[in-house]
Amino acid sequence: MATTRRDYYEVLGVPRNADERAIKTAFRRLARELHPDVSDHPEAQERFREAAEAYEVLSRAETRDLYDRFGHEGLRTGGFRPTDFDLGSLNDLFSAFFGDDFFGGLGARPGRRSARGADVLAEIELELGEAAKGVRRSVPFPAVVDCSTCRGSGAAPGTAPETCSRCDGTGRLQSVSNSFFGQVVRTQACPACGGLGEVVESPCPDCAGSGRITEERELEVEIPPGIHDGQRIRLSGKGHAGVLGGRSGDLYVLVHVRPDDRFVREGNDIVSAVDLTMTQAALGATLTVETLDGELALEFGPGTQPGELRVLKGKGMPVLQGRGRGDHRVLVNVAVPTHLTDEQRTLLEEFARSEHERNYGSDGGFFERLRSAFR
């Protein structure tokens, strides 16, 4: 039973004045999308129940009227209890209601059904430099495959699964119950064999009778240059094996790019800082700065200001699956001495006495320069 309290109209995605037909169509569409037999969505089951409950309420005049006027609270005090769906019998309910084989026969026959394998998520961590150049990485991940000992049957070698006596191999048990569709024959998955129609008396020792085992795999994955932190690479068909010929799921490799001490990444651009001493800034100097391509000598003229920016065109990160590279912006910091000898103090005091406002230019100021560094 759904415990969430979302608005029923919102759940079905219909306006409050939707007619019976629109409500039915909306539910039908949602049901197809969310049915746990066909949806990979982790919350499919819960959302399906929610949609079913919304439909149950809005498809009947009495409950819809109660809900429209008093909301969820009105329904509860009005004695409404949503049908607790047994998912195993949903197909039969839908057939009874919609008059067709709603899910194309999925679940109608006994035995294991062909199904797509689930997706697998693996994670890797890269240095910024590796993200810049691109890298091949060996990625370990667990993948579920058919057990080779029993070839997926789950039965110990030399034995075979036997027909379930409880359901005579049909995999289903029928019961008659009441629901908002009226009286319906409900078919449940047989609890003795789990709907498979057969039981394994002596389970395979390697897979404990499940027919599937988890294998540790490793795959060489090509990480393209310019990849961003948090991006995922999809390797189609490399996930868990499908069941009975179903196609395999996908492998997703989630890429983490470790923060770098020297560089800050801004999209495809790189920002770093360079420290000039007070005298280097005043007199001019050549300094070595680190870039993604290694060290680079940069010349700074006399009167270099803190917050000044040097743009190294095309020295940033490569554009992922594109052409060219971003820029590297080098931000100037001017370091002021924290310790002075007596002699230095005297020299600086002498300098201060000769200082004139003509020594200093007037430009946009430090904050404006800084602003342009982080545009």
Question: Which parts of this chain interact with Zn ion (CB under 5 A)?
Answer: 147, 149-150, 164, 166-167, 190, 192-193, 204, 206-207
**Backbone angles phi and psi of 278, in degrees to 5:** -50, -45
d(CA 120, CA 330): 41
54 vs 190 by CB, closer to Zn ion: 190
Q: Tokens for 321?
A: 């699956």
Give whichever of 46 and 206 is closer to Zn ion, judged by the CB atom: 206
Q: Are 210 and 154 in contact (CB under 8 A)?
A: yes
Name the phi and psi angles at 357, rounded to 5.
-65, -20
The residue count of the chain comes to 375
State in angstroms the smallest separation of the CB of 147 from Zn ion. 3
Q: Supply the minimum distance, in Å, between the C-beta of residue 235 and Zn ion.
A: 26
Pairwise CA distance, residues 33 & 22, whole Å: 17
Number of C-beta neighbours around residue 258 at 10 A: 13
Q: How far is the CB of 111 from Zn ion (least distance, A)?
A: 10
Taking the least distance from each CB to Zn ion, the nearer of 68 and 162 is: 162
CA distance 103 to 161: 28
Burial, 355: exposed, middle or buried (Cβ in 10 Å; 0-12, 13-18, 19+)?
exposed
Cβ 172 to Zn ion, closest distance in Å? 8
Least distance in Å: CB of 162 to Zn ion? Answer: 11
DSSP code per residue over 92-136:
HHHHHHHSS-TTTTTTTSSSPPPBPPPPEEEEEEE-HHHHHH-EE
Residues 63, 70: Cα–Cα separation, whole Å: 10
Q: How far is the CB of 148 from Zn ion (least distance, A)?
A: 8
Q: 96 has which bridge partners?
A: none
